[in-house]
Structure 1
Amino acid sequence: MRVVKVYFPNTKGVIRLMAFVYVILLAGGSALSVILHDTLAQWTSFLLQSLLYIVVCSLIYFSIKSQRIIITEKYFVLKVIGMTRHKIDFEHIREVRKGKMSGSPIMEIHAKKGSYSKVCPVPFLPFSEAWDELLLTIEKKCGSGAIGTMDLKRRKGEIRSWEET
């Protein structure tokens, strides 16, 4: 399995956003401590508890940073924290389309092998700059019919609801 290309996530904005939220949390908590006339020991306790936010954000950041999309001659591979999340043979890719999961845009790769069918979600935002090149690569290997809908915008007045089947 010869690796052709490896794509790394863009995480520049993640640290800034997390730091901005922490500064707001710290400022708001400190202001609340002053307003409620808390003691220095209570404020120190708040400060130590707010370090939990930093620990959680660090775990999230490193899991985002560890993601890799690897393109080989035969496979599309998504790795997260060093483990293979999806390994899809290009022969089995039926459609790549933009979707949403929990309100965030994702790329959905619909793979089908015989009677087995699976939709594999792949993150969009950390790899947003690489997706143009990724879609061109998939189009070359799977044909232009594999590239599905890429529009997530609602039409004016459109209401999204569960489809009754």
Structure 2
Amino acid sequence: MGVVKVYFPNTKGVITLMAIGYVILLAGGSALSFILNETLVQWTFFLMQSLLYIVVCSLIYLSIKSQRVIVTEKYFVLKVIGITRHKIDFDHIREVRKGKMSGSPIMEIHAKKGSYSKVCPVPFLPFSEAWDELLLTIERKCGSDVIGGMDLKRRKGEIRSWKET
């Protein structure tokens, strides 16, 4: 068995962002209940319904936290919740480029085997600190021609806008 390198997602700000969202939801709903002169029973019902937000956020957080990028001698693997989402042989990688999915930056790995071609989206933000090393590994195994000119660093004040170099 060759060398296996596992990359874990960075989830530092996720809980904070979700907690801020919950506080805004709770404050807005409570203010609306007060303005509409709702009873304590109605407000308690709203509070119980708002717990759904916590359940959904917990599921999203666990999904993000469970992601793994695994690099072996032969494969690039993305696992989510323990299930292999993409397993790409380095010999089949034709291009690595940046892209967006639902407004969030992603890395797209274009793989081609014979007549079969597939674009495999891999999350950028949770692995943003590891992408420099991942790109170097892909470049070393596949050649520099598969990596386009990408400026992955954001300048101060620049938000999710990437520039071709």
**TM-score, structure 2 normalization:** 0.90
Question: What is residue 124 of structure 1 aligned with on the other side?
Answer: 124
Matched residues in 2 for 1:153 and 1:134: separation? 18
Q: Deviations over 1:94-130 (max 9, x none)?
A: 1101011111110000001111111100000100110
**2:38 and 2:121 mapped to 1: Cα distance?**
47
- Alignment partner of 1:48: what SS? helix
**C-alpha offsets along residues 66-101 of structure 1, whole Å, 9 cap, x if unaligned?**
000000010000000000000000011011010111
3-state secondary structure, aligned to 2:13: helix
Aligned residue number for residue 55 of structure 1: 55
Give the number of aligned pairs: 155
Asked if 2 retains the 8 angstrom alpha-carbon contact of 1:98 and 1:149, the reply is no
Structure 2 unaligned residues grouped into runs of 5+: 152-160
Equivalence for 1:22: 22
Question: Structure 1 144/122 Cα, relative in aligned 2: closer, same or farther at 3 Å?
Answer: same
Q: Which runs of 5+ in 1 are unaligned?
A: 156-165
Q: How many angstroms apart in 2 are the aligned matches of 1:53 and 1:19?
A: 10
Q: CA deviation at 1:149?
A: 4.5
Q: SS at the partner of 2:49?
A: helix
CA contact (8 A) 1:107 1:123 kept: yes
**Which residue number corresponds to residue 37 of structure 2?**
37
Q: Is the 8 A contact 2:70 2:76 kept in 1?
A: yes
What letter corresponds to residue 52 of structure 1 in structure 2? L
Partner of 2:99: 99
Tell me whether 1:142 sits opposite 2:152 in the alignment: no
* Structure 1 contact 3–70 (Cα < 8 Å) conserved: no
Structure 1: distance between partners of 2:100 and 2:6: 24
Structure 2: distance between partners of 1:149 and 1:108: 14
**Residue 6 of structure 1 aligns to a residue in which SS?**
strand
SS at match of 2:122: strand
Q: Matched residue of 1:58: which SS?
A: helix
Contact 1:139 1:146 in 2 (8 A): yes
* Residue 7 of structure 1 pairs with residue 7 of structure 2: yes
Q: Is the 8 A contact 1:97 1:148 kept in 2?
A: yes
Residues 110, 120 of structure 2: 8 Å contact kept: yes
Asked if the contact 1:108/1:121 (under 8 Å) is kept, the reply is: yes
Looking at structure 2, the residues matched to 108 and 120 of structure 1 have their Cα atoms a distance apart, in angstroms, of 6
